[in-house]
Amino acid sequence: MVIAVKTENLIIAGTISAVRALILGRFQPFHLGHVHLAEHAQEYELIFAIGSAYQSLSFENPFTAGERYEMIDRALGELDVKKYFIVPVPDIRRHGVYGKHVADLTPSFDVVISNNAVVKEIFERDGYEVKGAPLFHREKYQGKVIRKRMAEGKEWENLVPESVASFIRDIGGEIRVRNLSHF
């Protein structure tokens, strides 16, 4: 398991007691709704848990965990976020232990940020505080909407950070999504 930490030299007298927030998602692709969430959660040190990490090369999950990692890293760099973690998390299809599974694979966290009812139930049952976040133009900032637009050859680049659009173009992601949409 690879964990990435982006940080500058943060030395503060005494100990650093940042509150960490977990953001769990598939990020297929990382879009402006995710950016809005990161901006909303600036008070926290963020942990992005890439869900369904072993799933890729399907229309629902066209990008690999490594590619999604790159998207998140580039987008957060574009936002000038100083410290964050990105951790791939494979599915285990066992909701009863999923919260502990995620906690085993990630740095410790204090709060989970999610509007997903299942995620809320799973993590609250394990004693975590789960906070919702304002949805940002949810009708267009959804992975499935962006993938559909890619498959149909419609404009999609304006729905993701420029660094993510550039990365997807560089890896032939739009063509991949179009090809995968036929299966």
SS3 call for 32: helix
pLDDT at 135: 76
Burial class (CB in 10 A: 0-12, 13-18, 19+), 48: buried
Residue 38's identity, in one-letter code, is: A
Give the burial string for 74-103 (b: 16+ CB within 10 Å, else e). Answer: bbbeeeebeebbbbbbeeeeeeeebbebbb
Burial of 158 from C-beta contacts in 10 A (0-12 / 13-18 / 19+): exposed
pLDDT in tens, 21-59: 999 999 999 999 999 999 989 889 999 999 999 999 999
Say how far apart CA 161 and CA 73 lie, in whole Å. Answer: 11
Band (pLDDT 50/70/90 cuts) for residue 14 is very low
What sections of the chain are H helices per DSSP? Answer: 32-40, 65-79, 95-105, 117-125, 143-151, 162-170, 173-180
Give per-residue pLDDT as tens, 50-90. 999 999 999 999 999 999 999 999 999 988 888 899 999 99
87 in Cβ contact with 49 (< 8 Å) = yes
Is the confidence at residue 183, as pLDDT, over 80?
no
pLDDT of residue 145: 96
pLDDT at residue 1 above 70? no
Report all structural domains of the chain as residue ranges with CATH numbers, in order of start.
18-180 (3.40.50.620)
Sheet holding 129-131, edge to edge: 4-6, 84-88, 45-50, 20-25, 111-113, 129-131
